[in-house]
Structure formats: structure tokens, C-alpha cells
Amino acid sequence: MARIGVFVCWCGSNIAENVDVVEVARYAATLPGVVHSVDYKYMCSDPGQKLITDAIRTQHLDGVVVAACSPRMHEVTYRRTVATVGFNPYLFEMANLREHCSWVHENKAEATIKAKNLVRMMVEKVKQNQPLYQIQIPVTKRALVIGGGIAGIQAALDVAAGGYEVILLEKDPSIGGHMAQLDETFPTLDCSQCIMTPRMVEIVQNPNITLYSYSELDALEGYIGNFTAKIRKKARSVDITKCTGCGVCQQKCPAKVPSEFDEGLSTRGAIYVPFPQAVPNKPVIDREHCIKFTKGKCGLCEKICPAGAIDYNQQDEIVEEKVGAVIVATGYDLLPKDTYAEYGYGQYPDVITSLQFERLVSASGPTNGELKRPSDGKIPQKIVFIQCVGSRDASQGRSYCSKICCMYTAKHTMLYRHKVPKGEAYVFYMDIRAGGKNYDEFVRRAIEEDKAVYIRGRVSKIYLQNGRMVVRGADTLIGGQVEIKADMVVLATAITAPKGIDKFAQKLGVGYDLHHFLSEAHPKLRPVETNSAGIYLAGACQAPKDIPEAVAQAGAAAGKVLGLFGGKNLCREPIVAKVNESTCIGCFICQKACAYGAIEMKGLKDRKGNVIKVVASVNTGKCQGCGACTATCRSNSIELEGYNDQQIYAQINAIGFTND
């Protein structure tokens, strides 16, 4: 005969107001198998917990039911409580009298009857419970960070600082990402390069970090603590062990390709280092544009390389790395050029994006920091900045706010006025979103001290009049149209998710939203985790973010990884599926139903080692205990531990049974 204890919580007045808790406790005592039943005002408090532990000791309980709030709230609390006296935590169950009962009903008498039913169901379930034990999973204590922008760099450095090995993956020839392209950063106007490049150097110097630049992730297999990453090291066509980084090759290369780093405002060779401060500072050959690869002639770089490092026959190399955790920091892209015909983006040379503006004012940019407009190299005397280009625009399919544009546009007006003190800066805005430490003050400074003129309204079109651009917009505050003759127009184009990121996310088993930004597990409480255990997010791949936020999130992701690596093994809840191998017919419908890829094939062998039957087997590292497989199994051979058929049936049968 079972010896079950029932503990009914008042939750202050939360439950007691709508449920007669004393009556529920009295009733519970009459249920078969219940030897102990009490009520208490706050069961989760220290004295409340003591009631439970004392009862386990003195009454020799073999099952505990706490009738209180949602298991989401306090299941972990009570499991810990019962475990302190050596009681198996999985012989404990919670009946939810708060969210499922007192909070949602008004009639106290009826709510009390429901509360009794809920308690009775749990008492019947707990009678069927078996002790379960936490699953221990070994963890490979190395992390993979995908993306070498500021978020990826920060995450890699933080994990490495914890004493663990990190593999940093970057698809481009150099790490640095978008931040390396920026001139000065808001709200302090400190130089981006000055704070970024030392970090990049740290990556190479840190003995815990292995950098794979010009490399991509081909596949990620495995599960939390035990991933295998297949990394494709793209052929650089340069032997970096021989290359001294002298740079002769890129000076002599006859090919002219628009520079990605300068946002197309300058050209580079087909063999190139993206920018002088690149890490690693070794060139790659862009085979798509190299004359040797496209036409079979040239070969100049091979002839002049003093180190003999050029190797046209280099092949892509696949490397396998075992890692325990993955941080995704794949960053963002900008709106494609062909959108917004009315703004002449891609049509008028002096209509540029904000990132191009950054390059134009940057000391490392194509004009060495002198602000010259692309069409004729003149210094623009009047610049119109247009915010929300492509963001907050449902007609373009992007209803989200790009978040950082208000701030960097304010910064641009300042940088412009500092370079061209007599220049006029106009900003068309819809709303100013400057929520951040010293952010609004920064925007006010742009208006009050640096004399930027802010116009509340959108621009409808930009057209040419006598060879000069005219920006026609509205000022909704005066309720009419305004026209400005501009020398240059800067569009604050929307941050978008990188192209193809959806395929990449599918490769990793990570969710993404409507706009292809990667999804966090919970918007508030699990902001850096994904729904795939062991994969974390950092930076703008999750949503538009500025540098401080990206760095903070990278640190948080690194913290999660360090937490995972800190324990000896990874402990997991034993609520996982379990296959009955003797009845499994090996149809593998469960495999299709499993969203986590946790069902594997397992061959059953006879004594001689011949495979006699192939059955399903659950990888407890991947299983999330959702129960989809148990519902689809045709031969009823998979059960979810803690929620098996007997337990569920006992609960259901208890609904129809009353001993009132």
C-alpha cells in the first residue's frame, strides 16, 4: 500500500481566496493511499518546505503531492526540497491549484471541487511513479564560435578567458566584421578601429583560440556537449605558412574588383587583403575575378611573390572539430541596392548608404577620411540623411525597426559638421529612438550643438533638377511639403538578416523568425539560448543591435558556455523517451516525428554478433521529452519517462472516480 503525503498550499490568498484549501486537505486525507495531508500558507517558504521534509522522515512517505502553483514556478524548488532528505525527486508531483484553478475560476464551491479532482489525479499518478535518476552526459569542453565580427570576437575571447579552447570561424578573409568598417562610434565618438583592432590581434595571440578565416561550416552533427563540426577551409590559393604578408601581390594584381570593405567605393585586386589591419594579414585569391582562374592567363602574382607562397592548385579542405557548444554570431547585411527606386539608390552616384558614408569619413577609407562625394569628388555642402529606409516599412516586407539608425545618423551629422563646419545637415526622421545610456543626450547634441536640422517626415522622392538632386519630403509638424537641394543623400538602410541564413539555421537546427533573424529560446528569460540545446546566439543575427548590446550578448552567451563547461558532466532531467526494444518493429515513424533528431537506429545483435533486428534508440542528449514519438509509435514501444501510459491512464481514470 502506498504511503503518500499531500501538501496543500494557500499561496497567501492567491489560492485560498477562491479554493477552500482546508477542505481540500481534509478531503485528500480520505483518499486511498494518502497517509498525511496538511495545508499551509506558503508551502514554498522555509517552514513550508520543512513540513514536507519532516513528513517524509516521520511518515516514511513513498510519494509526495504538493498542491500549489504551476510546476513551471516551483517544481524545481520542491524537487530540491525532497532530495535533501534522500527522497527521489521524481516520486514527487505537483497539482496546479493556482494557474489551473483559483486564478481562472470565480465560484469558490466549484473551484474547490476542481481542486479536489486535480489533487486526486496527482495522487493516482504518483502511485505509478518510479524513481528516476539524472542523466549524465560527458561534455567536450571546446566551443565553436561562428562569425568573426565584434560579437563573435568578444564571445571567443570570453570563453577563452575561462580557460577553454575556442574555434573561431570566419567566412571572409579577415575577422572584424562590420565594426571594422566604422569610423567613430556613438555615443562617445571613440574611434572604432582603435577599439576593434586590438581585439582582433588578441584573437591571434590567445593560445586558447584557433582561428579559421575564409572558412565556412559545412555541417554540424551531434548534440549538446558532443557536436562534430565539419568546417570547409576555402582554398586561399596562398600558402599562409610561406606568405610573409609583404603585399607586393595585391599591388601588382591587374584585376579591379569593387572592394567589399569599402562598400564598393574603391577597388581591390583579385588577390587581396581586405584592409591593412586585417587579421590574418595574409591575402586570398578571389577566384571568381582572378584572371588566371577565369581566363587561364596572367599568373603575375606567382611570378613576383618573393616567398613563393602562391598556390593556384590549392583545394578546399574539410576539417572536423569536436566541440561541446556553439555560439552563432553571424551578424547582419544591409538592404539590397535595387530597392527604393524613388530614392535613386544605385542610380544616382551621390545617393549612398550609411555604411558607405562611414567609409567616406573613415581615415582608413578610400578618400583617407576626406569627405568627398563619389560623383565628382567635391566636398558636399548640404547632405540630406534619410532614416527608416527599408525598415518600419510593411510594403517592403520589413515592419521591424532597424534600431541603430537613429543613433548612427545623429553621429553622421556630427562627423559631417566636424569635417565640413559650414555644411548643412538635414535629417528626415519618423521617430527618434534613442533609448540607451547617454543616447538621447547624444541626439540632442547633434541638434543643439552641431546644428543638424531634423525634419519629422518621410521623403517621397529624389529627383534631378539642373543636375542637382532635389529631395522632396514632408514635414508633418508644419503639415506640408519641403524640398531640399542636396549635394549628397545618405540612406539609413535597414539591417537585414544575411542572405541564406535560413538554410544555415536549418543546418544547425535553430529557429528563425519572419525576417530570418535567429530565434532565442525565450525573449526575456533565455535571450541568448536557442531551442537547440548547446547552441547560443550573439549579436545582430538575433535582431538589429548596436555594438554595446552585441558585446553584452556575446558575454552572456560565453557565460552560458562557461556554465556548461564548468561541471564535470552535463546533468539532464531524466524526462526522456525510452524504447521497448523487444516490441519495436523498426518502422522509424518516430524518427520523422522527432523535431530534435534524437531517434537513432540501433542494431540488436545475437551472440555471434549478427544484426538480427534494427530498432529505434533514443539519444538522451538530444531528447527534449516532448513526447511526439510516443504518440506516433504504432506498436506502442516508446514511452516518455515520468509520463508513461500507466501514469497518464491513472490520472485520467481518477477524473471519473470520487469518494465523496
Partner 1 sequence: MKYELPRENDQQHFMSIIEKMSGQNIRLCYQCGKCSAGCPICHEMEDSPNQIIRYIQLGLKEQALSKNTIWLCASCQTCSTRCPQQLDLAKIMDSLRILHQQESLQQNIPFSTSAKDFGHRFYNSLLNGLQMDVRSNVNAFSDLFLKMVRHYGRQFETGLIYNYNVNSGFLFSNVLKGPMMLMKAKINLIPEDVKRREKVEKIFSKIEQLEKSEKEKR
Binding site for partner 1 (CB under 8 A): 342, 388, 392-396, 430, 456-461, 472-476, 479-481
Please identify, using beta-carbon distances, which residue of 461 and 605 lies nearer to partner 1: 461
d(CA 62, CA 393) in angstroms, rounded, equals: 61
Please identify, using beta-carbon distances, which residue of 8 and 484 lies nearer to partner 1: 484
Please identify, using beta-carbon distances, which residue of 303 and 461 lies nearer to partner 1: 461
Q: How far is the CB of 515 from partner 1 (least distance, A)?
A: 15
Please identify, using beta-carbon distances, which residue of 311 and 475 lies nearer to partner 1: 475
Q: How far is the CB of 429 from partner 1 (least distance, A)?
A: 10
User: By the 8 A CB rule, do 616 and 601 touch?
Assistant: yes
Give the number of other Cβ atoms within 10 Å of residue 205's Cβ: 9
User: In the 8-state DSSP scheme, what is residue 400?
Assistant: S
Please state the φ and ψ torsions of residue 480, each to the nearest 5 degrees: -165, 180
Please identify, using beta-carbon distances, which residue of 87 and 429 lies nearer to partner 1: 429
Please identify, using beta-carbon distances, which residue of 334 and 494 lies nearer to partner 1: 494
d(CA 43, CA 78) in angstroms, rounded, equals: 9
Q: How far is the CB of 258 from partner 1 (least distance, A)?
A: 30
Q: How far is the CB of 212 from partner 1 (least distance, A)?
A: 41
Please identify, using beta-carbon distances, which residue of 42 and 463 lies nearer to partner 1: 463
Please identify, using beta-carbon distances, which residue of 324 and 457 lies nearer to partner 1: 457
d(CA 327, CA 530) in angstroms, rounded, equals: 10
User: Collapsing DSSP states into helix, strand and coil, what is residue 611?
Assistant: strand
Q: How far is the CB of 660 from partner 1 (least distance, A)?
A: 50
Q: How far is the CB of 62 from partner 1 (least distance, A)?
A: 60
Cell 537613429 maps to which residue? 406
> Can you read off the three cell numbers belonging to residue 362?
573613415
Please identify, using beta-carbon distances, which residue of 200 and 471 lies nearer to partner 1: 471
Q: How far is the CB of 474 from partner 1 (least distance, A)?
A: 3
Please identify, using beta-carbon distances, which residue of 430 and 587 lies nearer to partner 1: 430
> Can you read off the three cell numbers belonging to residue 352?
549612398
d(CA 20, CA 168) in angstroms, rounded, equals: 59
Q: How far is the CB of 439 from partner 1 (least distance, A)?
A: 22
d(CA 612, CA 604) in angstroms, rounded, equals: 6
Report DSSP letters for 321-387, one per residue: EEESEEEE----EE--TTS-GGGTBTTBTTEEEHHHHHHHHSTTSTTTT----TTT-PPPSEEEEEE
Please identify, using beta-carbon distances, which residue of 315 and 460 lies nearer to partner 1: 460
Label residue 581 exposed, middle or buried (CB < 10 Å: 0-12, 13-18, 19+): middle
Q: How far is the CB of 342 from partner 1 (least distance, A)?
A: 7
Q: How far is the CB of 473 from partner 1 (least distance, A)?
A: 4
Give the number of other Cβ atoms within 10 Å of residue 569's Cβ: 12
Label residue 6 exposed, middle or buried (CB < 10 Å: 0-12, 13-18, 19+): buried
Residues in the chain: 660
**Torsional class of 151: left (φ above 0), alpha (ψ -120 to 50), beta (otherwise):** alpha
User: Collapsing DSSP states into helix, strand and coil, what is residue 557?
Assistant: helix
* Residues ≥6 apart with Cβ < 8 Å to 92: 63, 64, 65, 66, 78, 79, 82, 126
d(CA 16, CA 184) in angstroms, rounded, equals: 60
Please identify, using beta-carbon distances, which residue of 87 and 428 lies nearer to partner 1: 428
User: By the 8 A CB rule, do 374 and 347 touch?
Assistant: no
